[in-house]
Amino acid sequence: MNVLFIGESWHIHMIHSKGYDSFTSSKYEEGADYLLSCLRGENITIDYMPAHIVQTRFPQTVEELEIYDAIVISDIGSNTFLLQNKTFYKMDIIPNALSLIKKYVSKGGGLLMIGGYLSFTGIEAKANYKNTLLADILPVEMLDHDDRVEIPEGCCPVITDEQHIITKDMQQWPPLLGYNKLKARENSKTLVKINDDPLLVLGKYDNGKVCCFASDCAPHWGSPQFMQWEHYTSFWYNILQSIKK
């Protein structure tokens, strides 16, 4: 299986104040290292595209996307796809990246969106996928406003379908520390809930398959218990197997 994994990276710019004096420093981090290593250990080939690379190197044709069996979007807002450098700085007319993804799914590709502060509607509504073309193909309805639900005390998800290939033998879940609040669409299938809200939802769009996981694949919503869960690898592997073209 060949997967394009997009997002889960960030730059941090810090101010250090020590009495009268201060200085700045910055660092770059990637949040999906553990997940990607787990999937690669299952013989899944992954092309990883960090968030800042999307603005300069995202494919410009559907044919370039069709080499992948599935695309994963995780914790990266819609602006990064829509305001690529050529358009934002040079006013060039280029293909709409989200339109390419929509066409890719329509032709039989698989798409997984993983939750986070810049997934679905996101923090301060900045992810803003509700107002994009991806809202047409995801198996969930998104909120108009900040959709984060923070659960510092932790909450264990509940399986709603114990026989599905993705969730079979996964009755006992570790706690998660938050999620994006969503509503499952008609004709979709909710396999897992959290706080009685959909956590894992499957659906179809034309010839393709789509899936939404409303929490994070990594900290902080992905608790240490979730990251160390015995089913962590098989869970994500099963999802990708279920949506691949």
Which positions ≥6 away from 60 have C-beta within 8 Å? 94, 95, 100
Please give the pLDDT value at position 66: 97
pLDDT above 90 for 7: yes
pLDDT above 90 for 23: yes
What would the DSSP string read from start to end of 117-165? TTSSS-GGG-S-GGGSGGGGTSSEEEPSS--EEEEEEEE--EES-TTST
Q: Model confidence at 161, in pLDDT bands (50, 70, 90)?
A: confident
Phi and psi at 225, nearest 5°, equal: -65, -40
Please give the pLDDT value at position 64: 98
Q: What is the pLDDT of residues 194-242, one digit of tens each?
A: 999 999 999 999 999 999 999 999 999 999 999 999 999 999 999 999 9
Tokens of 235: 């869970």
Q: What is the pLDDT of residues 59-92, one digit of tens each?
A: 999 999 999 999 999 999 999 999 999 999 999 9
Q: Is the N-terminal amide bond of 11 cis, ω within 30° of 0?
A: no
Whether the CB-CB separation of 87 and 81 falls below 8 Å is answered with no
Instruction: Measure the CA–CA gap between 21 and 99, rounded to whole angstroms.
Output: 49
pTM score: 0.95
Please give the pLDDT value at position 229: 97
